[in-house]
Chain A
């Protein structure tokens, strides 16, 4: 499926309910997303959007906000 920012927010809310992902920009740095969340998230993204994520991608810059996650998936889809 083609990635949309809304779908990203949906997936995020499923993993960590109660956070406003539209405004948070330090998801990893402030420990809102821990490594288990990132692992679960990465696996979900791979499954849903049919992309390949490598360990090199699992850096804080890519996962600190809903927007950066969306951009990551977008890039992977366009390769």
Chain B
């Protein structure tokens, strides 16, 4: 059951109706049952994995909390009887036990994730024949495992760090991990942001529901009209890349970027829209990423929840770790103050993006994805003083509009190229596609033929172009601080209804369907 199907709409209507019909105390139960119903529909027996993660993390968090409570109690009772050394030793022991508990929880669940997701890849690349270990082809990835595992581990680490108390209600906690709106493609939520909202009963507000539906419609528009249509062309070119060159490949790269953005952010908008109807605020995952002026800014606007999660649970801990402090000192002594500061940050960045890369999947393409992003940002960090000097010398006006636009285009082009290589059938395919851009330039006839061959045709291309333009217009307005849905709700009823009907019929007329293929959400595979 994909979001873009009639049956999903039925499901949502049922869940929302039930939610608002039952008494307050039972509302979260409706969400829990719906979530597991949905999950079981998608994963059947593999549901056992999310149950395992829920149970182990739930228990570990409570264990850690108990250890802390017990030790505080003990110290309070026996503070007078112990000297400083003993107190220190006791505290250290407590810390160790907590750490081991945390590590157990982490490794158990990370271990499963790594085995299921990367087992085959690792075995193949270490040249172990999988036939000896009973071919690993039976391994299926349970739905959303990358998302819920990270979400669970974030919670566990936060409890360890004392950010908030552990959840003592197993069923409520199960809801936090399995919530059906986030299970397919995130966002990866934080416990202190999402859990309370889930458990708290919400009332039905008509205006809020209207807003939510409008957001859903926008999401469907991006996914069904833009992304799935672009996919006609991109899948054809990426599949048979050898037959295409020059401008055909450039279009494929651009359309692929459009496709993945429409697909992912469209899906997220649908989710956030539904959540809004239910009165729940889900974390923003996209903030008009193509207005980013640098690659690092891009990652603050694209898949925000993943970037934020890795920042808090990988990047910062690395930087603040003792190991890195020592590394910093060594670098500082060897290479001077600036490099000594910056190189550890760069190394951390590369590790961070490697994780982000392979989080997407088990292939060298994703490793490349991570290394590229990490590498570009690190290079930027290292060369910052150089850039500053160049800017000073050339008296470049970095505040000007033109410069901003240049930066946006530059970032867009660089990342589109990286994305194109990553999405190709293999790294070598990706590079060969890159090289073929230089060959057979500007052959518009071939391009026209390709567009027709893909099934999109001239008319489809017009629709795609117009829809993308509409999306661009909306985002430009948003970037300039205008809240579209708010301003719509302030208009009179005629304007509002025309907007609603316009959006609805744009979707109904131009959405891709089974004959051309509603595509499964791209991020559902992660």
- A/B touching: CB–CB < 8 A: yes
Query: Which residues of A are at the interface with B, using a C-beta cutoff of 8 A?
Result: 17, 31, 34-36, 39-40, 42-44, 46-47, 53-56, 58
* B312/A55 in contact, CB under 8 A: yes
Of listed B296, B311, B329, residue having the most chain A CB within 10 A: B311
Q: Is B162 an interface residue (CB 8 A)?
A: yes
Contacts of B296 in A (CB 8 A): 34, 36
Contacts of B342 in A (CB 8 A): 40
Contacts of A53 in B (CB 8 A): 320
Known: A17-B388, A36-B296, A46-B320. 9 other contacts (CB 8 A): A36-B349, A39-B319, A40-B345, A42-B320, A43-B320, A43-B325, A43-B341, A55-B313, A55-B316
Contacts of B300 in A (CB 8 A): 31, 34
Taking the closest CB of chain A, its distance from the CB of B158, in whole angstroms, is 8
Q: Is B344 an interface residue (CB 8 A)?
A: yes
Contacts of A35 in B (CB 8 A): 311, 315-316
* A47/B328 in contact, CB under 8 A: yes
* A40/B161 in contact, CB under 8 A: no
A-facing mask of B347-378, CB < 8 A → 1, else 0? 01100000000000000000000000000010
Q: Is B29 an interface residue (CB 8 A)?
A: no
Contacts of B344 in A (CB 8 A): 43
* A55/B328 in contact, CB under 8 A: no
Taking the closest CB of chain A, its distance from the CB of B415, in whole angstroms, is 17
Q: Is B324 an interface residue (CB 8 A)?
A: yes
Distance of A43 Cα from B332 Cα, bound (Å): 12
Taking the closest CB of chain B, its distance from the CB of A31, in whole angstroms, is 8
Distance of A17 Cα from B385 Cα, bound (Å): 11
Size of interface on B: residues with Cβ below 8 Å to A? 27
Among candidates A39, A46, A54, residue contacting B315 with C-beta atoms closer than 8 Å: A39
Q: Is B317 an interface residue (CB 8 A)?
A: yes
> 10 A-B contacts, Cβ less than 8 Å apart?
A17-B388, A34-B296, A40-B345, A43-B324, A44-B341, A46-B320, A47-B329, A53-B320, A54-B161, A55-B313
Taking the closest CB of chain A, its distance from the CB of B235, in whole angstroms, is 35
Among candidates A17, A40, A58, residue contacting B341 with C-beta atoms closer than 8 Å: A40
Residue in chain A with minimal CB distance to B341: A40
Among candidates B320, B324, B345, B349, residue contacting A55 with C-beta atoms closer than 8 Å: B320
Of listed A43, A47, A58, residue having the most chain B CB within 10 A: A43
* B311/A56 in contact, CB under 8 A: no
Contacts of A58 in B (CB 8 A): 312, 316
Among candidates B311, B319, B349, B388, residue contacting A43 with C-beta atoms closer than 8 Å: B319
Taking the closest CB of chain B, its distance from the CB of A52, in whole angstroms, is 8
Among candidates A31, A34, A40, A46, residue contacting B325 with C-beta atoms closer than 8 Å: A46
Taking the closest CB of chain A, its distance from the CB of B293, in whole angstroms, is 11
Residue in chain B with minimal CB distance to A41: B341
Contacts of B254 in A (CB 8 A): none
* A55/B381 in contact, CB under 8 A: no
Residue in chain A with minimal CB distance to B318: A39
Contacts of A56 in B (CB 8 A): 161-163
Contacts of A42 in B (CB 8 A): 316, 319-320
Contacts of B324 in A (CB 8 A): 43
**Which A-B residue pairs are the 10 nearest by beta carbons?**
A39-B319, A55-B316, A35-B311, A56-B161, A40-B345, A58-B316, A40-B341, A43-B319, A39-B345, A55-B317
Distance of A46 Cα from B297 Cα, bound (Å): 26
Of listed A17, A40, A46, residue having the most chain B CB within 10 A: A40
Distance of A56 Cα from B329 Cα, bound (Å): 24
A-facing mask of B307-348, CB < 8 A → 1, else 0? 000011101110110001100110000000000011011001
- Contact residues, B153-198 vs A (CB, 8 A): 161-163
Of listed B317, B341, B344, B377, residue having the most chain A CB within 10 A: B341
Taking the closest CB of chain A, its distance from the CB of B421, in whole angstroms, is 25
Contacts of A44 in B (CB 8 A): 341
Taking the closest CB of chain A, its distance from the CB of B334, in whole angstroms, is 16
Taking the closest CB of chain A, its distance from the CB of B299, in whole angstroms, is 9
Residue in chain A with minimal CB distance to B307: A35
* A47/B161 in contact, CB under 8 A: no
Distance of A17 Cα from B384 Cα, bound (Å): 11
A43-B328 contact in complex given A36-B345, A56-B161, C-beta closer than 8 Å: yes
Taking the closest CB of chain A, its distance from the CB of B318, in whole angstroms, is 9
Distance of A44 Cα from B338 Cα, bound (Å): 11
Distance of A35 Cα from B344 Cα, bound (Å): 14
Distance of A17 Cα from B355 Cα, bound (Å): 31
A39-B348 contact in complex given A53-B320, A55-B317, A58-B316, C-beta closer than 8 Å: yes
